[in-house]
Amino acid sequence: MAQVWRGTDEVLRRAIAVKILHQHLAADETFVTRFRHEAIAVARLSHPAIVAVYDTCSDNGIEAIVMELVRGQTLRQRLDQGPIDPWVAANIAAQVAGALAVAHAAGLVHRDIKPANILLSEDGRVKVSDFGIAKAAESADLTQEGSFLGTAKYLAPEQVEAKPVDGRTDLYSLGVVLYEMLCGRVPFEADTSSSTALARLHNDPPRPRLIKPGIPRELEAITMRLLARDPADRFPSATDVRAALLSAGADDRPPTTDEVTVAAPVPPTTATPAGRPATAPPGTWHTPPGGTSPPRFAESERRWLVPTLLVVLVAVALGVAGLLLQGSGDGLFGDDQDGDGTSDETDEPTGELATIVGTIDFDPQGDGSEHPDEARNGYAFDGDPGTSWSSERYNSPEWGGLKDGVGLIVELDEPGPVRGLEIDTGVSGWEAEVYVADEAHSALDGWGEPVAELTGAGGTASVEGLDAEGGAVLIWFTRAGSGNLVRVDEVRIAR
């Protein structure tokens, strides 16, 4: 749909990408009007995995978009070079799902998710480009008889039948991309674009493990659900897709500098003793399940959720730590200055609160999901008593006999001492264990032994005097409370 040029922003002195639309698009006034409208909407999106749109230009019949310059290659180019490790494929898909979740929440449906629109930057990040262009084209009479808007290989059935589309349409296309990464081929391909597009209306694709037996079963299940012909049978949202991939073992965090080496792709058999390729193409990072490091849960929003930390004087920090360690009995987070026998918001805090940067729902023995949106949005630590994270409602306090428990992972800004924990909740009768680890783990046995136990009588429950250190805290609820659920209105961690 366009030519892309490298340019320079002469005001900010930064390298940019300038996408100049082909003349037949620029000449269509309906398209240009819709294109400008969509570009403005996309420019408001903010997510690490979305290519930023800076501006639009119109000059003497030329229409262009000014965009972030991403140095690297497209996923299409990467796929043309050879196979992709299944867990690298899952990592890429999880980042794309995160980008789609933000776009869908803003009312934008991409409509043309395909490997050519997924960029793998040199630093290992994944970027989705061209939001809004397909919708603008759809509103104009730009197609010819017998042709399909978008790339036929990646169209959802409802697009082929010209039915209404929504976020689940993008999820189908993401399923095709994930299928191709896992299997080395798309699920449907025929002699013509029309035949390729129509094939998915009446047939289910062959299961990935029939093509490549080594594909993990959990990734196969996620892929096949994404490729359901009926949108109602797919995942409800991109957030749910991302949660399922993370629960399966994917990791959508950007790699650290010691986890990525920008180089030409190497045969997948070349590996270091740690199980990681000796050199890896852009988009390859983190040891997959089966390596020496367990898969880790993390939110890609971590980068923009982390608040700016205030500099604390060493003397003050030591004094605060001393108060925490004394165990004076005046309360974990405040002295009982008003004499009511409790430490509450009317009392002055005596301990240093750890900075919480994210929470993750934890359901390793179930379907992997316990209200992930509430956890991802930080409802358990946003300071608003009207928001909370809660579990699903079960048939009995023993989680309906289905599992040993459910949990909430609390991620801290950095590893450090954990001296205590406090939970505000209106639910009583629950029981929980507290675990502390350097980082979040996807299985309970990765957390080691519990460092404390908690019971809830409603109101505030706390435990103090802990001697633990780490960057993640797991509250593992072994028994549900009133209503056969648990709820965390606010959680606080003491250093």
Parallel, antiparallel, or unpaired: how do β-strands 452-479 and 406-437 relate? Answer: antiparallel
Chain centroid, CA 98 distance in Å: 4
Give the three-state DSSP class for 476: strand
Contact 357, 305 (CB under 8 A): yes
Q: Report d(CA 389, CA 488) in Å as an integer.
A: 5
338 labelled catalytic: no
Q: Give the Cα separation of 153 and 481 in Å (integer).
A: 49
Per-residue three-class SS string for 36-89:
HHHHHHHHCCCCCCECCEEEEEEECCEEEEEEECCCEEEHHHHHHHCCCCHHHH
Distances (CA, A) of 344 to 291, 399, 434, 460: 46, 31, 22, 9
Q: At what angle do helices 86-105 and 167-183 cross, to 10 degrees?
A: 170
Q: Give the residue from 383, 455, 472, 457 showing the smallest Cα distance to 427.
A: 457
CA distance 68 to 436: 39
94, two tokens: 């999880």
* Tokens found for residue 12: 């900010």
From the list 28, 112, 130, 347, the catalytic residue is 112
What is the H or E stretch that residue 492 is in? strand 490-494
Task: Map residue 177 onto helix, strand or coil.
Answer: helix
Residue 303 CA to residue 410 CA, distance in Å, equals 16
**Contacts with 293 (C-beta within 8 Å, 6 or more apart), sequence order:** 274, 286, 287
- List the catalytic residues: 112
